[in-house]
Each structure stands twice: as structure tokens, then as C-alpha cells.
Amino acid sequence: LRKKTYPFVCKRHFEKDDKQQKDKTESAENEERTTDPKESATANSTVVAAAAASSFTPMEKLKTKKIVDFSNKVYVAPLTTVGNLPFRRIMKDYGADITCGEMAVVTNLLEGKASEWALLKRHESEDVFGVQLAAAHPDQYTRISEVIEKYASVDFVDLNLGCPLDLLCDKGAGAALMMREKKLKGALLGMSQNLSCPITVKMRTGWDTNKPIAHHLVSKIQSWGIDGLAAIMIHGRSRLQRYKLDADWDYISSVASSESADFPKIPIIGNGDIFSYSEYEEKVLKNGNLSQTAMLGRGALIKPWLPTEIKEKRNWDISSSERLDILKSFVRYGLEHWGSDQQGVNNTRRFLLEWLSFLHRYVPVGLLEVLPQKMNQRPPVWMMGRNDLETLFLSPQSSDWIKISEMLLGPVPDDFRFEPKHKANGYVQNG
């Protein structure tokens, strides 16, 4: 890939145009040369015979489509930066059924960038594992699916139609692809032809909160009849909304209801703000239109034991020592994954700190006046825990996150500073 010599079957869009023009020219020249009717008839019969001979494909050459059943499963959604392999191992430890790698940018994959291909790495404990791809053009999706089918170990491939970042949307990828139906259809058809594993699509309600388009888009995708399309995931917020306010589960339900009875129905999985079993029950289980899947995003970052809560139907008042054990496991997994040299320690610390920028938002069950805690509810400033360690975990100060990392990975240099890469718009201080 780095040498740009990979033998892709699918050509780039500009290469296709050149080839089509060349084929037309050659076809016209061949017609001019064919003057003898007998020779023409003989040639035609040969073509028909060849077509008949090749119409049967041996069974061993046929692609067998795998099946992934998302219903009644806990699915940890793709999470950029913090959804790394050591974190996914933690999620498996606490009961997640399905995991998905971080969003990978297809242009970087096609250029052979090792850091991007590392996002597709799977741990042996991930028994049902998918990868999420982001691109703007059908040929990019089609070409990378050729490589993934041959070299990657995945159970499904997810198309990202939900990323709100300007970096992607300005190029027509992410949430912008929702408004480019022709390109989306080409991408789905191309990938369906190459992949033996299922395809899923993750989208938002639309670009603008006041003009949702997911119900129109889902109906069109349904009418396209894409082979191997296993599910459509809908995050109940628009692109401009990002993570502000609450997810609109009423609209997600209406999208599922909008599917036509004239075509096979596609399972619709809702996503957004599931932070406890009671919310999963209210938003998913009591809704007959949706797939009974607990799809977790930020909830898994703040409460990595959430899959256990959902499966055991309870609110777990987890102790501070148990939470520290989770971090110890993450550090151990991180050093196994990134290495135990100084670079590996630095990487593990960086990703631990990124995770702690979410973990501090959890308020212990024993300190709550009303259960359960909601996703975007902020804990009171300077809230005290039931012991010193619990108070430290509640701190929103990055200096305290660094102290926690030093408990697990040793001291940092005196001039060490940390600024979280992710700052959720739905969770900011006033002013």
C-alpha cells in the first residue's frame, strides 16, 4: 500500500473514466474491422458458449455471508482515542458481548499508515469484533474492503455516517455522507460485493436538529436491497448538536416505524445516553420497534462496569478499591499492547489520562439522592467521597488525574502537563 502497488480490482473514479473511454474506442475499432457476417456469427456463438460454460460457479468459490445477531447483546460503540484495545479488554471483562475498533480513516489505511492499521487490531478475547471506517467516496470504501476481506480478522464492518468533526465533514465523510445518497449507495454496493462479513451503518438524526433526515435515508437504504446489511445504528442527536442536550429516542423509534413493509426490514439499533439498566429498559426494551441491543458509548467510558449492571439488572455501588483494580488491569493491558519500555509507558499513561477525563464524571450510587445518575448531570463542585480515594476519583482537575497515573505508572517529570483531547460539549462548566 505504501508503495502504491497493491493490485486493487476496483479502480479509482478517474481511472474508471479513462478505462471506459478506452473501452469505447476499442469497441468502435473492432466493429469497423468486422465485415464478414460469417466471422461475426462464429464469434457471437463462441461468446455465448463461453458465457454458458462460466455461468456455473463452484461452491468453494462462492462467498458465504457471515451473520452477526446484535439483538439482546451489549455492544460497545466505536470510541475515538479512548476505545483502544486495552479499554475494549476491560469492557469484555465486565460483560460486553460485541466490541468495535476506533474509527479508522480510509485514506490513511489505503496509504498504508501503520498507526491507522493498528486501529483494526483485535484481541483474542474479542469474540465478536468489528471495525468502523470513514471515507467520502465509494471507490475508497470498495478498495479498502478488498484489503480487509483478505488480511483483517473482523466479524462486521461499520460505515461511519455520524462523526461530527469538521476535519471529516468538510471532505464529505462522516455525518456529511448522510446527504450524499448516491455515494453512500455506491459504497454499500461495493463493500457488499467484496466482504463475506456483514455491514452496518451508524448515522445521526441528520445535519440540523430541526431538519432530521434519518427516516428518509433509512427508507432509501432499505429499498436498495444491500446484501449483508445487518443493522443501522442511529445516534439520537444531529451533527450540529454533537453531544448537547439529550438524545431523541422518540425520533429513533419513528425511524424504525418508517421502514416499508414492501422490503425486508433492517434492524434499527438506538444509541445515546444509556447510562443504567433502567434507561436501557425504558428506551429500548419497552420499544417494540427497535432491536433489543444495549449500544453503549460515553456510558461505557464513565462506567466501564455498565454491561454488568445491564445484564444483572441492578445499580452497582462499586467501591473505590474495585475501581482502582479496573485501572490496574488497564495499565497491565496497556503495557502488554504498547510495550513496557519508556515509549510504552508514555502511551499507556496518555490513554489512561484520556480515560480518567471521563471516569471522574461518575457519582457513586451511595452518594446519590435520586437514582440513577443521568448522562449529562454534573456532580457538584468539590464533591467529597466516602474515602480519600473516592474523593480523588471525583476530582475534575487534571493534576489529580496525573496523581492517579503516578500511583500506577510511577512519577512524571516536573513540567508534565495534560490537556484532554476530548472535551464533550454536553459536559462543560458554565461560563
By annotation, the residues acting in catalysis are: 163
For the purposes of burial, counting CB atoms within 10 Å of the CB of 336, is it exposed (0-12), middle (13-18) or buried (19 or more)? middle
Q: For residues 139 and 122, what is the distance between their CA atoms, to the nearest angstrom?
A: 25
Inter-residue contact 233 to 77 (CB < 8 Å):
yes
| DSSP of 42-73 | HHHHHHHHHHHHTS---GGGSPPPP----TT-
Give residue 418's Cα distance to chain centre.
26
**358: how many CB neighbours lie within 10 A of its CB?**
21
Q: What is the DSSP letter of 264?
A: P
C-alpha cell of 87?
479499554
Inter-residue contact 394 to 329 (CB < 8 Å):
no
At 282, is the secondary structure helix, strand, or coil?
helix
Closest Cα to residue 164, out of 244, 75, 88, 100?
A: 244
Distances (CA, A) of 399 to 320, 360, 392: 19, 12, 10
Q: For residues 258 and 276, what is the distance between their CA atoms, to the nearest angstrom?
A: 28
C-alpha cell of 365?
450510587
Q: What is the DSSP letter of 293?
A: -
Which residue blocks in 266-341 are alpha helix, DSSP H? Answer: 277-280, 298-302, 306-312, 320-338
Distances (CA, A) of 32 to 27, 40, 44, 46: 9, 12, 16, 20
C-alpha cell of 57?
460457479
- 156-161 and 199-204 strand pairing: parallel
Q: For residues 356 and 347, what is the distance between their CA atoms, to the nearest angstrom?
A: 14
